[in-house]
Amino acid sequence: MLNILSTFEDSKNAMLKNQIEEILRKHGIKAQKAHIERLIKNIKPISEALTPVLLESIVLENLTIGESYFFRDIQTFEKLRKILKERPSWNILSIGCSRGEEVYSTAIVCNEAGVECSIKGIDVNFHRISQAKLGCYNFWSVRFLSKEQIEKYFNIVDGKYCVKEQYKTNIEFFQGNILDAGLSFFGKREKFDIIFIRRVLLYIDRIDIVIQKISTLLKDNGFLILGAGEYFPEVLEHFSPAFNDVGTFYRKISKKTEHPEIKTTKSKFFGKHRKLTEIERTKSEKTQEIEFAKLLKKTFEGMELEERIKLVEEYLSKKAYQKAYDIVKESCKKYQTNYLLWKYKTLIELELNDIENAKQSLQRALFLNSTDDEIWQLKHALDFRAKLKK
């Protein structure tokens, strides 16, 4: 009897896993195995009552990024103020806009800069889009704003912080996937001056396709804005850093106007691999990305940190924890104030069952960035592992 029940449970888990993975493929989203397994465990008791539509909603709610807050990565909005001086009106798109904090932050900056902005936000999650349209938030979303800023930008209604109407002009929100063929809410020829896609590409399977799509949606010399600390070699196929620090702002380029140093770097990289067969290209895809990053490091200052993080993430995806640890341990000595490195160091030490060192790394990560939800999740996991070890 126990064997029969066990087989039934395994079959049920497998069916749910297949359904979830199909939904993720449909939206071009990738998710960690541990997150999928946790979701299956949570929804299995109600799986019989789940319709396909409800299951899809649950998957998108739990396996896509949703955490945000007003003026996240404040330096990004400081740079935005600079480029807004270039012209009097802007058409802006926010991809993966979540509950709308990024869209309204941008609207506030446009308002204060005295320029006209039309802003669209798109997200695959219906519930987040509904919240974005409402424009009312808990304190968590405004936690980094001063009292004066809160009073200036929000009306407090029933304990919620509701964006004032003057900052909601010319804003639209849409539920959908940027890769959908029939994006009916965009005009056939609509082009954008600025596209935000911050902390979204980390969850996308085919980054190259998304970047190509963004390039077609941007006007010539339009701006692409990534999240702080994000680096993807695919971006440099269509964009060039807009500021000397590389950072988060990229400007769309044509082959004629491409930065000469980037052009030389690409020429070296692609020339080296031109003679590879299709099979060899497929097998060496990740190696090529790493080589590309190394070449770019020689072109721009400050690229070394991003290259290390990219390599650590690559090893983590392959569960090559010791290789990842060798890199992150040395990197933490060189970049002692980078919270992301300390977060990864904690994760790897946890995977290697090095509890004591993981505790020390976690303390450093929390000190450097106590607002990162993933660090607090690591703390819970570490506390649980420490109890088991006693």
Q: How confident is the model over 126-178, as pLDDT tens digits?
A: 888 999 999 999 888 898 889 999 999 999 999 899 999 999 999 999 988 88
Instruction: Please tell me what DSSP assigns to residue 182.
Output: -
Contact 188, 209 (CB under 8 A): no
Place of tokens 């992301």: 340
Please state, for a pLDDT cut of 70, what percent of the chain lies above it. Answer: 77
Q: Is 294 exposed, middle or buried (0-12, 13-18, 19+ CB in 10 A)?
A: middle
Report the Cα–Cα distance between both ends of the chain, in Å, rounded: 35
Helix axes of 339-351 and 355-368: crossing angle, nearest 10 degrees: 160
- For residue 181, what are its two tokens? 């063929």
Following DSSP, what letter does each residue of 52-77 receive, concatenated? Answer: HHHHHHHHHHHHS-----TTSSHHHH
> How far, in Å, CA of 99 to CA of 107, rounded?
14
> How far, in Å, CA of 189 to CA of 155, rounded?
37
Q: Which residue has the higher pLDDT, 336 or 194?
A: 194
Q: Is the pTM of this model over 0.85?
A: no
Question: For residue 242, which of 252, 233, 232, 234 has the smallest C-alpha distance?
Answer: 252
pLDDT tens, residue by residue, 29-38: 777 777 788 7
Q: Is the dihedral of CA 339, 343, 346, 348 positive or negative?
A: negative
Q: Which residue has the higher pLDDT, 25 or 77?
A: 77
Question: For residue 289, which of 228, 231, 212 has the smallest C-alpha distance?
Answer: 231
> How far, in Å, CA of 187 to CA of 172, rounded?
13
pLDDT tens, residue by residue, 230-272: 767 788 888 888 876 656 899 997 654 454 544 554 444 444 4
Using CA atoms, how far residue 199 sits from 73, 94, 98, in Å, is 11, 11, 11
> How far, in Å, CA of 219 to CA of 251, rounded?
10
